[in-house]
A and B are shown apart, each in its own frame.
Chain A
Amino acid sequence: EVQLVESGGGLVQPGGSLRLSCAASGFTFRNNWMNWVRQAPGKGLEWVANINKDGTATYYVDSVKGRFTISRDNARDSLYLHMNSLRVEDTAVYYCAKDEDWANDYWGQGTLVTVSS
C-alpha cells in the first residue's frame, strides 16, 4: 500500500524557516517524480514544486523561487521542502504527492504551516 506521511509543519514567525519531510513507502520511491502542493485555509490547491527521479532537476512556482528548496533522499525514501524567508501568505496545508502518468496519484494527509507573529 502506497503511503506518504508529511511532517515538520508548525507555527513560525515571518522571515523564519521550516523544513518539511515526506516519508514514502509502498512503492519504489526512486522511480517517481515527486511534488509539493499547498492549500491555504479555505482556498484552492496550488502546485509549489517538483523534483525529478534522481534529484538533479527541480521546478518551483514563481512565488517561492529563491526561498524554497525541494530535495530528496532516495536511500531514505524521503522528500523534503526547505522553506526560508517565510511569509504570512505561505500559511497553508502542504501535501506531498507522487507523480505517475503526469498526475498526482497518491497524496499524503498534509502538514499545516502557519506563518504568524
Chain B
Amino acid sequence: QSALTQPASVSGSPGQSITISCTGTSSDVGGYNHVSWYQQHPGKAPKLMIYEVSNRPSGVSNRFSGSKSGNTASLTISGLQAEDEADYYCSSYTGTNTPWVFGGGTKLTVL
C-alpha cells in the first residue's frame, strides 16, 4: 500500500486561508469516507483535527475544515494563526489487510 500524496510544504500569511491536498486512489481515499487529518507540532504527539472527511472533534477550531472530491481529500485552514504552524498528515482506510495508510505529511509555515 503506497503512502497518500501530500505537498511537502505550504505557506500563508496570518489571516489568510490555505488548503492541503491528499491524493490517493479509488481503493482508499476515493473508496471510503474514512479520511482523517492530524496536526503535529515538533516533538509532540499528533492531534486529530478532522475525521470522516469533514467532521471536527470537540475542541478543534472551526477554522479547520475538510472535504473530499474523487480520490483527493483536502484540509482547509482559514484565518491562519501563528500556532497553526505545524506538520499535517492525512490518513485513509484502505479496506485491505493493511487497513490504514498515512500521507507523507505537509509542513505548514505561517509567514
> Residues of A at under 8 Å CB distance from B?
35, 37, 44-47, 50, 59-62, 95, 100-110
Contact = CB atoms under 8 A, between A and B. Distances in A.
Contacts of A110: 45
Contacts, number: 64
B47 interface: yes
Nearest to B40: A45
Given A44-B89, A44-B104, A95-B46, A104 B38 contact: yes
A107 B100 contact: no
Q: How large is the interface on B (under 10, 10 to 19, 20 to 34, 35 or more residues)?
A: 20 to 34
Given A102-B36, A104-B36, A60 B98 contact: yes
B15 interface: no
Nearest to A46: B102
A1 B95 CA distance: 31
A47 to B, nearest CB: 4
Interface stretch (B17-25, B50-58, B72-80): B50-58
B91 interface: yes
A33 to B, nearest CB: 10
Contacts of B110: none
A110 B99 CA distance: 22
Given A107-B46, A110-B45, A50 B3 contact: no
7 tightest Cβ-Cβ pairs between the two chains A and B: A103-B51, A103-B36, A102-B34, A44-B105, A47-B100, A107-B45, A45-B102
B93 A101 contact: no
Interface in B4-50: 34, 36, 38, 40, 45-48
A50 B100 contact: yes
Nearest to A101: B51
Interface in B78-100: 87, 89, 91, 93, 97-100
